[in-house]
Amino acid sequence: MGFKTPSADAARTRRLNGVARASRPWSAQHWRNAIATPRARATGSADATPASPNSRIPASPPLHGFTLVELLVVITIIGILIALLLPAVQAAREAARRLQCANKMKQVGLALHNYHDTWGRLPPCDAGGMRSHVDFQSGWNWQPRILDYIEQTASFAELDFTQPSYVGDNLAYIQRVHWEFLCPSNDMADHILEEEGFCAPSYPPISQSDYAACVGDYINMTGVGLTPAYGNITGENVFQTRGMMGRFGWSARFSEVYDGLSTTIMVGECIGAVSFFQNFGAECFATTAHPINFMNEWLIANHATVCDCTAGTSTTTTGHCGDSSIGFRSMHPGGAHFCMGDGSVHFVNENIDGVTYRALASREGGELVEFP
């Protein structure tokens, strides 16, 4: 039997131990040594000794969030951007509302032309109790009369024009909100309020209108214009006014507009909620005694608390309540819409020359007017 040399046994043992070590998974210490040694070699460090068992892998650097100053700066920038964009958004919305208002007035103008084709004259306001047509009783505004011409045939059929507007189902109807005659820019348009002839406790409040008939270039209690005040024409001449529609049962034929339909105001904007004399059911008229948008701020702020409506048929007609309120105005900045006798709609600047403005309101004044 031969004997193995010690050197051969030792080599065999080392090989077996290496295989055993290779077959076992590496411990955490093995991985740390494997990582630390190449790093030391790469940096040229003389200390390439494997990490000790008690050494730890360095922690990752901490993540930093926004500081308070950075957060405040971001919030400030966002606030500035909103402040810059908000006026532009509001202006775009008002432009859209103004276009809707013009379209509504255009529909009113077309309805008035269709009414004229049927009846041979424009519809009158008959608040004073003077019957204008044999088929209509007194106490009606001109607007309910044209419902049949603005695709409101069903609504028109609900009304009994052989009875006054303040009787039975008629009264309930004129208490409803009628958006066809209300400006989208007016946030008071849907108010139900007391009006001339509809003062508590004798009568309930009624709905508003933002489109008024032009009775002519008359003075109010103050202002500039001709007499009688408010166009209150009385007498035997069927209450003809200098405008295209009167208050007391008279309205013009187109053939009676001698100044020309394209330069004579037929209907203009108003804010019904700030006047006792501008509503849907009973009457809605205006004069050119005062400039466009005259006393808007005061009337909007004070009408509900300062202006009184007395029981029966009377209202406060002193001061701004019954003077300044009876005019053309709007919630649009800078002016108001007007529908001329030919049905065209124009936005007229509130700074229009007074002489020109009043000339546009008369149908037979003989003025030579160039439309602004």
More confident residue, 70 or 193: 193
Backbone angles phi, psi at 17, to 5 degrees: -65, -40
**CA gap 162, 150 in Å, rounded:** 21
Maximal CA-CA distance, the chain:
160
More confident residue, 209 or 318: 209
Backbone angles phi, psi at 214, to 5 degrees: -90, 115
Apex CA 264: angle with CA 261 and CA 265, to 5°? 120
Residue range 136-140: mean pLDDT, rounded: 72
Q: What is the chain's Cα-based Rg?
A: 42
Which sequence spans correspond to the domains of the chain? 86-361
How is residue 355 written in tokens? 């002489």
**CA gap 115, 272 in Å, rounded:** 23
Q: Is the pLDDT of residue 80 over 50?
A: yes
Phi-psi region of 269 (alpha: psi -120 to 50; beta: other; left: phi over 0): beta
How is residue 347 written in tokens? 């936005």
Return the pLDDT at 211.
Answer: 97
Neighbours of 262 (CB within 10 A): 14
Q: What is the mean pLDDT of the chain?
A: 82
**CA gap 37, 55 in Å, rounded:** 13
Q: Is the pLDDT of residue 22 over 60?
A: no
Return the pLDDT at 83.
Answer: 82
**CA gap 162, 145 in Å, rounded:** 12
Q: Is the pLDDT of residue 313 over 50?
A: no
Q: Is the pLDDT of residue 5 over 70?
A: no
Return the pLDDT at 312.
Answer: 46
3-class state of residue 315 by DSSP: strand
How is residue 224 written in tokens? 């500039």
Q: What is the DSSP letter of 285?
A: E
Q: What is the DSSP letter of 293?
A: T
Confidence of residue 3 (pLDDT cuts 50, 70, 90): very low
* Full DSSP string of 136-158: --SS--STGGGGGGTT-HHHHHH
Per the CB < 8 A criterion, the answer to whether 318 and 303 are in contact is no
Neighbours of 25 (CB within 10 A): 5
Q: What is the pLDDT of residues 251-307, one digit of tens each?
A: 999 999 999 999 999 999 999 999 989 999 989 999 999 999 999 999 999 888 888
**CA gap 205, 343 in Å, rounded:** 32
Return the pLDDT at 347.
Answer: 96
More confident residue, 146 or 58: 146
**CA gap 116, 111 in Å, rounded:** 9
Q: What is the pLDDT of residues 212-265, one digit of tens each?
A: 999 999 999 899 999 999 988 876 656 789 999 988 888 999 999 999 999 999
pTM given for the model: 0.76
Neighbours of 216 (CB within 10 A): 29
Q: Which residues of 349-360 are buried (b: 16+ CB within 10 A; e: fewer)?
A: ebebeeeebbbb
Return the pLDDT at 248.
Answer: 84
How is residue 11 written in tokens? 């080599």
Return the pLDDT at 1.
Answer: 46
